[in-house]
Amino acid sequence: MSAIRTMLRRLFRDSKGATAIEYGLIASLIIIGMMGGLKALGGGAGGMWTKVNSEVQNS
């Protein structure tokens, strides 16, 4: 645990480390946005397949 703290302190002191952390935060926000979008689209696609299945069953 102390090795992780030491590494994080080094990253916060180093400007390159700060840039890497900023890029990591930006990437995580993009991923969270993508997950939300996919979840919203996934529900619509599921409903579409349910409709297709019911129409095939009825014909």
Instruction: Give the CB-side neighbour count of residue 17, counting CA atoms within 13 A.
Output: 9
pLDDT at position 33, please? 93
Q: Are 51 and 57 in contact (CB under 8 A)?
A: no
Copy the structure tokens of residue 39.
Answer: 């979840």
Buried b (16+ CB within 10 A) or exposed e, 2-34: eeeeeeeeeeeeeeeeeeeeeeeeeeeeeeeee
- 24: which 2 tokens? 């990591």
Task: Place 40 in a pLDDT band, splitting at 50, 70 and 90.
Answer: confident
- Convert the pLDDT of each residue in 12-32 to its tens digit: 776 666 677 888 899 999 999
Number of folded domains in the chain?
1
Domain residues for 13? 2-58
What is the model's pTM?
0.48
Mean pLDDT of the chain: 81
pLDDT band (50, 70, 90) for residue 4:
confident
